[in-house]
Amino acid sequence: MPAKIISGKQIAADIRLELKDEVSELRKNDIFPKLVVVLVGNNPASESYVKGKIRAAEEIGMESVLIRYADTISEDELLSKVNDLNKDESVHGILVQLPLPKQISEQRVIEAIAAEKDVDGFHPESVGRMVTGLETFLSCTPAGIMQLLKRSDVSLQGKHAVVVGRSNIVGKPISLLLLQADATVTICHSKTVDLASITKQADVLIAAVGRAEMITKDHVKPGAVVIDVGVNRTDAGLVGDVKFDEVSEIASAITPVPGGVGPMTITMLMANTIESAKRHAG
């Protein structure tokens, strides 16, 4: 039986409706959640992501501002802008779109953002709090995956979750969130020997490697839930890390690309910004 399609597009739309209501309640109390997105240069993928973020903010009635800089901006100039935004009481969320040009240290910029406005969840303080299970801003893609699983009634307790990929943005944090949800977690990566023998044990398989269609039916146990985090631009268009056509024949549930994890990431960014505004007011 072909897999159930976990529609991130639909689940994200449901959550955005909830967030829209929340924003309109906050506005009644003179709280106006505001997100500032900083875009340096004009990398086409970044342009597209940023557009999506601004559009989502508009859709839920939240204020958003896009600040653009040429890719010649110096690190000092960018850090100084971040400092100004940190001090600006009207701003609840600051996101500097990555990647940044090579004259700028991404890590220095991430660490310059005030932790209480770090709606990306990339600041070491946010990461450290997440690791210890404290309240914090969760980075948006892992948070979105957890929502997808929750809202699709995928149980995690005692299940074997296998994560392929160990990036700071997805692989590492999603592994910890799955662990906190009582899954038994294995992390695989480019140096893993006999990848398929491990991924085939997964009840829940998270593919976050960034290699087009590398997870095939030979990597998947029949009945597994498969979450595809990949966004690979190929000549054939946008494809995930999972060979969807064949894996969807054996999985019990699977996310498509596009329309899976992607819309959830942006939605979690909105949720984090609203949460920030509430904390600031409270």
Does the annotation flag 166 for ligand binding?
yes
Q: Out of 22, 120, 228, 275, point to the residue binding ligand GUN (CB under 6 A).
A: 120
Does the annotation flag 41 for ligand binding?
no
**Side-chain-side CA neighbours of residue 260 (13 Å):** 29
**120 labelled catalytic:** yes
Interaction of residue 238 with ligand GUN, rule CB under 6 A: no
- Interatomic CA distance for residues 43 and 190, integer angstroms: 26
Binding-residue pattern over the window 138 to 157 for ligand GUN, x denoting contact by CB under 6 A: --x-----------------
User: From the CB of 265, what's the least distance to ligand GUN, in Å?
Assistant: 6
Interaction of residue 277 with ligand GUN, rule CB under 6 A: no
Residue nearest to ligand GUN (CB): 98
**97 labelled catalytic:** yes
Does the annotation flag 82 for ligand binding?
no
User: From the CB of 247, what's the least distance to ligand GUN, in Å?
Assistant: 24
User: From the CB of 220, what's the least distance to ligand GUN, in Å?
Assistant: 26
Q: Which of residues 79-108 bind ligand GUN (CB under 6 A)?
A: 95-98
Interaction of residue 114 with ligand GUN, rule CB under 6 A: no
User: From the CB of 36, what's the least distance to ligand GUN, in Å?
Assistant: 12
**180 labelled catalytic:** no
Residue 251 · residue 152 · CB < 8 Å: no
Interaction of residue 64 with ligand GUN, rule CB under 6 A: no
Q: Which residues are catalytic?
A: 53, 97, 120
